A and B are shown apart, each in its own frame.
Chain A
Amino acid sequence: MNKEELLELLKDEDIQKAVLAIRKSKIKKEKKLEYSIKEKDNEIEMLKGLVEKLKKCFREEEVKSEKLTKDIDIKNNKLRELEELKNRLNFGIKDLKSKNNKLSKKVDFYRNTFEKELNTYALYEELNSSTKSSLKGIFKDDSLEGFLACGVQEKNIGSLWEYVKDELREEKNSDIKSLKTIFYFFFDSYKRAFPIYKVQNVVVGDEFDNEEHIKTNSGSVSGKVDEVVFVGWVNSKTNKIIKKSIVRVK
């Protein structure tokens, strides 16, 4: 068909109508499209807005993300630092644990080794004032260190023994048990330094002998040893009696 025919045809009402209807429909469609486009545009606009928003958000997020990334970096750095710190700390802890172990061992050692020292010093501190004042010539320094330093002196061991002996003889000192313990403690140290000296071997049932023993005021003047009240010591090499043991005779 050619154009005229087509134009002719277009004159036809029906065709016109049909064309119109088509047009109308087309228009309608167009309008609808338009509308739809519009709607789409709107939608696009909205979407654009949304996109913008999103973009904005995105940007913001990006910023945030950047920030976070930065933060993460920081954190990561920190984390690394912390890791390092942790490692270091772990190492430290390990070290400390090992040190602690060592120290615990040391504490145990000291506790085990110096328990007697501490207990003996406690005994010394509990002595009544008169006894303590009597002993000031021996324990010139009242501290633990002073107590230990003075007590182990050879001269003082002898003086302390003599003092305990005198007090046993007078039978008036209520501290006598503690005094004996204090003496035995120091004598023990003394023996370590001078292994040549040893405690005199006296047992219940031995015949009392003036040359080997000192008898207490109570009890018989001769007979057998009934109780070893305070031991003396001897030079194990020469068998010379340095201090005679104090015994009760029955």
Chain B
Amino acid sequence: MNTRMVDSLYKEADEMANDFFVSWKNFLTNIPSTDSLAKSMIEETFEKVEPLIDERWVIMEGEYLYDHKIQACWLYEYKEDNNFNQYLDLKFGKRFRQSYVDNIKEEMKKIPSNMSLPTKKELVFSFSDLEKAPFPIETYYKRPKSVDYILWEDNNQINAYCLSSKREYSEGDIVPLFRLHKKSHKSSTNREIFFLWILNGLLPTRLKEDSFYKTLLNFEYEVENFLELKSLKLHKAKISISSDKLIAELLLEDKKRADIQEYHEKMLLDIEQGHWSLWQDESTFKKPMAFTLTKKLVARDPKSSIVNGVVGIDFGTKSTVVAYQKETTKIYPMRVGTGNLAKTISAHHYENPTIMEFNDLEEFVEDYNSREGRPYTSWENLTISHTAFSSLMNSKSDDFNAYISELKQWAGNKDKKLKMVDKKGYILDLAPFIDIGDNDINPIEIYAYYLGLHINNQHNGIYMNYILSFPVTYEIDIRDKIVESFRKGIKKSLPQELHAQRGEVGKLSVKKGASEPAAYAIVALQEYGFEPEDYEKIFYGVFDFGGGTTDFDFGIFREANGKKERRYDYAIEHFRAGGDRYLGGENLLERLAFEVFKNNKDELLAEKIQFILPPECDEFLGSEMLVSQSREAKMNTKIVMEKLRPFWEQHEDSLDDFDKDVLGVNLTNINGQNLANFELTIDKNEMFEVLENRIEKGVKNFFESLKLAFNHKDNNLNTIDEINIFLAGNSSKSPLVSKIFEREIEKNTKELKGEDRENEKEYFKIFQPLGHEDGNLNQPTGKTGVAFGLIESREGGKILVIDHNIKENINFKYYLGESRRKKFKVVLDREQEYNEWVEFIDATQETFEVYYSSQPLVSTNKIAIDDNSIKKRILKIDKIDDEAFIYLRIITPTTFEYVVAHEDQIASSTYLQNVVKVTL
């Protein structure tokens, strides 16, 4: 049975107690807080209580009569007059002479211990000039009819007072009084009075049937300093809650959690639908507390919402793409964090910015840790994706550090730390991702949790199978940690009611899929109609030019063959991957902005406007005053990047702006002053040159990698007839990329196949990024193709992925070499086996230099040593020996070791000094 009608709701007693505790505190201080059952119960009850307070006299159950004028209760009892009419009498016991103190005290023992005699002030205040009261009034003297002479006490001195004559008297009646607060306390607010009533167990007779009031009375409160709530305990009791209130809360649950469009009311009333949160099993609660619903609602077993499908997640530097497949073979992209799912879909909705906004991290973490599944976290405290991105673009400079947009870079770099200051001032100082502990705050897990909330909800259903892609350069341990973080985050997004069902959540599977460019290749090869048969091999290369990096992948696509591949239609073997670390659309924009700033340095200096130094850009004369990492510098760079974006992305409607040689932008100087329309001189041709040079370098790197890839032991470039190059990533859409590729293809074809190939077919075939020219937004694109490919390459799918690139670990990330005649000469290339010593240089001097670069172009040994992609390390040895050599060996994709040894002893591990480790 997938749904059922329920008439009660269980909550953990401790959770509820805490909820009530916090709600009472917020109620008393009048602090606005997020809606909760407890809050609405308190607020709603107060709405009924306040008019009573304003009426002054409130008859309470248990013979207390509250007078708001003195914020205290008189004791009363009902009596009958001669006409058998009931009236309220305030007198207690016999009349005493004021001097009979012992007798009075003896009589007082009969009244509740919290009551005492009034002070004269209280007496006069409460009982003089009465116009209206729930007891009979003596109309002439305007006092209570039943009492006139009353005993009062001050400093343990008992006196008597006559209300009619307004004089002291020698004897009087006992009229006991119970004060809500000490005599010295100033009057309390209505909210405090309400709390004091609850605290003192006072129940207004008019509310004696009110279930909320009685529920609140039923708790055990502990206070200090009079009104400061210290603890709150719930007692098991039958408490009823308004189903309408609950419906409103349940429908908005995910809206509050992650700005997911609210559910339709029908969900809770239609037996075919139902809500997960109502599917409860009392036995799974530690301390269940039952709430009776005023009308029955429909619960749905979350297990029945599990979709037999798979989700592919392309966790990108700039944006994350999610694609899913249900029971059929169709794959669809999914929108994350766009709020209103009913609005018109646009292509960019599927590219979800990889960014997080931290408003109140501490509160988020507290909520996040409060339960296993779908905790009550608030979107107000932490947002991601489109919301966070929009917020960043419009955030004040003080909040600039409350965003993390370098999630992927942080994850991929073993040395990169992360610092964030949320909008409440909480500082998050994180170690490199790989060193993050299980109990540390892990932004990747939180990001995955939010993706999970958007994937798994009552609009979409629940997905239990996930595949993640990775850049080819990510090391295995980093990939594993990302997978684990995603698994934890997604698990957290599954409904608590699924967690409560034994064994269900354990079925969640998050796996590593094909690398990003390989996943794209799978989709592109099929979309472009490649269907290899028999032993036909389709050679391909992918140039995935994204926002942050460019990844290469080289391989073959063939028909699956042999017994072992029987279950597949096709196999894709990728045997070399690589990339250009800093070639990304965003990096290019950053570089372009830097060049523009540099060309306007004098004007910027005069106005004290700073900017950042992007990777691969060199400092220049006077740059120390202009280049900074300050938030203003970051903001200025970001603003100019956005202004230049139409130029880079070739937006037709804005290109004319760049003909005017001047670009007006609003920049901020070091004092935080915003300078409107600051005019920067630009040179369109120069900007084109900057872009072209850098892309050309990337394309050259691609061809060098391609040559290395296809001159493999099993293949030879000369024996290959055709190589298909697939352009991918949003940045590949730039016309510049195609232009440069055409140029390089011509050059490389000549180089490889000779000059005279006019009549022969093309050797390199180029394929533009996939797009949706036909307007079908469900088709894969150059950007969303990776997520689609992940699903195609899933376990159980029809395409076998064989990765020759990963053995124990990915290849070493750099080329190590030396400077020879001002050129980089490779000594250790990326194919080098791990842990094998390679002779580097003689050990005749204490100091030696190791140059390194990740660019495949350096493998040509023709790249100038001052190229900004080449860096160096100055290293020292302890032992100088004319006969010995310095040896290097690689240990991990980013570390190598060196040692000094004699040529004949290195194999036997006999060294002249200790091994030294170097991390790049």
Question: Does any Cβ of B come within 8 Å of A221's Cβ?
Answer: yes
Q: Tell whether, in the assembled complex, residue B676 and residue A134 are in contact, meaning their CB atoms are under 8 Å apart.
A: yes
Interface size, chain B (Cβ < 8 Å): 31
Partner of A221, one of B379, B664, B676, B678: B379
Question: Does any Cβ of B come within 8 Å of A178's Cβ?
Answer: no
Question: Does any Cβ of A come within 8 Å of B394's Cβ?
Answer: yes
Question: Does any Cβ of B come within 8 Å of A207's Cβ?
Answer: yes
Contacts of A214 in B (CB 8 A): 390, 394
**Docked CA distance A222–B391 (Å):** 11
By secondary structure, the A interface counts as helix
Residue in A137, A160, A207 whose Cβ sees the most chain B Cβ within 10 Å: A137
Q: Tell whether, in the assembled complex, residue A159 and residue B396 are in contact, meaning their CB atoms are under 8 Å apart.
A: no
Contacts of B394 in A (CB 8 A): 165, 169, 214-215, 246
Q: Tell whether, in the assembled complex, residue B674 and residue A222 are in contact, meaning their CB atoms are under 8 Å apart.
A: no
**Known contacts A135-B676, A210-B339, A214-B390; is-contact A162 B259 (Cβ 8 Å):** no
Q: Tell whether, in the assembled complex, residue B676 and residue A163 are in contact, meaning their CB atoms are under 8 Å apart.
A: yes
Min C-beta distance of B77 to chain A, whole Å: 51
Min C-beta distance of A194 to chain B, whole Å: 14
Contacts of A134 in B (CB 8 A): 673-676
Interface stretch, picked from B220-228, B380-388, B786-794, is B380-388
**Docked CA distance A207–B342 (Å):** 12
A169 and chain B: residue at smallest CB distance: B396
**Docked CA distance A135–B338 (Å):** 36
Question: Does any Cβ of A come within 8 Å of B359's Cβ?
Answer: yes
Question: Does any Cβ of B come within 8 Å of A84's Cβ?
Answer: no
Contacts of A211 in B (CB 8 A): 338, 343, 386
Contacts of B675 in A (CB 8 A): 134, 136-137
Q: B58-72, CB under 8 A of A: which get 1 and which 0?
A: 000000000000000
Q: B601-641, CB under 8 A of A: which get 1 and which 0?
A: 00000000000000000000000000000000000000000
A208 and chain B: residue at smallest CB distance: B339
Q: Tell whether, in the assembled complex, residue A155 and residue B677 are in contact, meaning their CB atoms are under 8 Å apart.
A: yes
**Docked CA distance A21–B165 (Å):** 151
Q: Tell whether, in the assembled complex, residue B359 and residue A221 are in contact, meaning their CB atoms are under 8 Å apart.
A: yes
Question: Does any Cβ of B come within 8 Å of A14's Cβ?
Answer: no
Min C-beta distance of A231 to chain B, whole Å: 15
Contacts of B679 in A (CB 8 A): 137
Residue in A166, A215, A246 whose Cβ sees the most chain B Cβ within 10 Å: A166
**Docked CA distance A134–B664 (Å):** 13
Contacts of A201 in B (CB 8 A): none
**Docked CA distance A215–B339 (Å):** 14
Question: Does any Cβ of B come within 8 Å of A171's Cβ?
Answer: yes
**Known contacts A166-B666, A221-B359, A221-B383; is-contact A160 B676 (Cβ 8 Å):** yes
Question: Does any Cβ of B come within 8 Å of A101's Cβ?
Answer: no
Contacts of B599 in A (CB 8 A): none
Q: Tell whether, in the assembled complex, residue B380 and residue A159 are in contact, meaning their CB atoms are under 8 Å apart.
A: no
Interface size, chain A (Cβ < 8 Å): 31
Q: Tell whether, in the assembled complex, residue B359 and residue A138 are in contact, meaning their CB atoms are under 8 Å apart.
A: no
**Known contacts A137-B664, A155-B664, A170-B396; is-contact A221 B674 (Cβ 8 Å):** no
Min C-beta distance of B744 to chain A, whole Å: 37
Q: Tell whether, in the assembled complex, residue B666 and residue A159 are in contact, meaning their CB atoms are under 8 Å apart.
A: yes
Q: Tell whether, in the assembled complex, residue A209 and residue B339 are in contact, meaning their CB atoms are under 8 Å apart.
A: yes
Contacts of B304 in A (CB 8 A): none
Contacts of A207 in B (CB 8 A): 340
Q: B365-404, CB under 8 A of A: which get 1 and which 0?
A: 0000000000000011001001100110011111100000
Contacts of B672 in A (CB 8 A): 170
Q: Tell whether, in the assembled complex, residue B340 and residue A209 are in contact, meaning their CB atoms are under 8 Å apart.
A: yes
Question: Does any Cβ of A come within 8 Å of B11's Cβ?
Answer: no
**Docked CA distance A162–B635 (Å):** 14
Q: Tell whether, in the assembled complex, residue A170 and residue B674 are in contact, meaning their CB atoms are under 8 Å apart.
A: yes
Contacts of A135 in B (CB 8 A): 676
**Docked CA distance A165–B394 (Å):** 8
Min C-beta distance of B694 to chain A, whole Å: 29
Q: Tell whether, in the assembled complex, residue B340 and residue A167 are in contact, meaning their CB atoms are under 8 Å apart.
A: no
**Docked CA distance A210–B631 (Å):** 24
Min C-beta distance of B393 to chain A, whole Å: 8
Partner of B666, one of A163, A210, A215: A163
Q: A136-177, CB under 8 A of B: which get 1 and which 0?
A: 111000000000000000011001101101110111000000
Q: B795-814, CB under 8 A of A: which get 1 and which 0?
A: 00000000000000000000
Q: Tell whether, in the assembled complex, residue A221 and residue B259 are in contact, meaning their CB atoms are under 8 Å apart.
A: yes
Min C-beta distance of B106 to chain A, whole Å: 62
Residue in A156, A169, A171, A215 whose Cβ sees the most chain B Cβ within 10 Å: A169
**Docked CA distance A167–B394 (Å):** 11
Contacts of B340 in A (CB 8 A): 207, 209
Q: A187-214, CB under 8 A of B: which get 1 and which 0?
A: 0000000000000000000011111001
Question: Does any Cβ of A come within 8 Å of B303's Cβ?
Answer: no
Q: Tell whether, in the assembled complex, residue A221 and residue B391 are in contact, meaning their CB atoms are under 8 Å apart.
A: yes
Question: Does any Cβ of B come within 8 Å of A25's Cβ?
Answer: no
**Docked CA distance A214–B676 (Å):** 19
A179 and chain B: residue at smallest CB distance: B676
Q: B327-358, CB under 8 A of A: which get 1 and which 0?
A: 00000000000111001000000000000010
Partner of B674, one of A166, A209, A246: A166
Question: Does any Cβ of A come within 8 Å of B255's Cβ?
Answer: yes
Contacts of B390 in A (CB 8 A): 210, 214-215
**Docked CA distance A171–B394 (Å):** 12
Q: Tell whether, in the assembled complex, residue B387 and residue A138 are in contact, meaning their CB atoms are under 8 Å apart.
A: no
List A199-242 residues whose CB lies under 8 Å from chain B: 207-211, 214-215, 217, 220-222
Contacts of A156 in B (CB 8 A): 664, 677
**Docked CA distance A155–B672 (Å):** 23
Q: B654-694, CB under 8 A of A: which get 1 and which 0?
A: 00000000001010000011111111000000000000000
Residue in B339, B343, B394 whose Cβ sees the most chain A Cβ within 10 Å: B394
Contacts of A163 in B (CB 8 A): 666, 674, 676-677
Contacts of B343 in A (CB 8 A): 209, 211
**Docked CA distance A165–B676 (Å):** 11
Question: Does any Cβ of B come within 8 Å of A133's Cβ?
Answer: yes
Question: Does any Cβ of B come within 8 Å of A112's Cβ?
Answer: no
**Docked CA distance A171–B395 (Å):** 11
**Docked CA distance A129–B883 (Å):** 75
**Docked CA distance A158–B495 (Å):** 47
List B509-557 residues whose CB lies under 8 Å from chain A: none
Contacts of B396 in A (CB 8 A): 169-171, 217
B256 and chain A: residue at smallest CB distance: A222
Contacts of A160 in B (CB 8 A): 676-677
Min C-beta distance of A131 to chain B, whole Å: 9
A137 and chain B: residue at smallest CB distance: B677
**Docked CA distance A166–B666 (Å):** 9
B349 and chain A: residue at smallest CB distance: A211
A130 and chain B: residue at smallest CB distance: B673
Q: Tell whether, in the assembled complex, residue A217 and residue B666 are in contact, meaning their CB atoms are under 8 Å apart.
A: no
B399 and chain A: residue at smallest CB distance: A217
Q: Tell whether, in the assembled complex, residue B339 and residue A138 are in contact, meaning their CB atoms are under 8 Å apart.
A: no
Contacts of B395 in A (CB 8 A): 169, 217
Residue in A134, A170, A208, A210 whose Cβ sees the most chain B Cβ within 10 Å: A210
Contacts of B357 in A (CB 8 A): 221
Q: Tell whether, in the assembled complex, residue A210 and residue B397 are in contact, meaning their CB atoms are under 8 Å apart.
A: no
B673 and chain A: residue at smallest CB distance: A134
**Docked CA distance A165–B675 (Å):** 13
**Docked CA distance A136–B667 (Å):** 12
Partner of B676, one of A159, A169, A171: A159
Min C-beta distance of B214 to chain A, whole Å: 33
**Docked CA distance A115–B678 (Å):** 30
Q: Can you offer 16 A-B residue contacts whose CB atoms are under 8 A?
A: A130-B673, A134-B674, A134-B676, A135-B676, A137-B676, A137-B678, A162-B666, A167-B674, A169-B396, A170-B396, A210-B339, A211-B343, A214-B394, A217-B395, A221-B259, A222-B387
Q: 6 closest A-B pairs (Cβ-Cβ)? A: A137-B677, A159-B677, A163-B676, A210-B390, A222-B259, A138-B677
- New A-B pairs, 16, CB < 8 Å, besides A217-B396, A221-B387: A130-B673, A134-B675, A137-B678, A155-B677, A159-B664, A159-B676, A162-B676, A163-B666, A163-B677, A166-B666, A169-B394, A171-B396, A209-B339, A210-B338, A211-B338, A221-B379
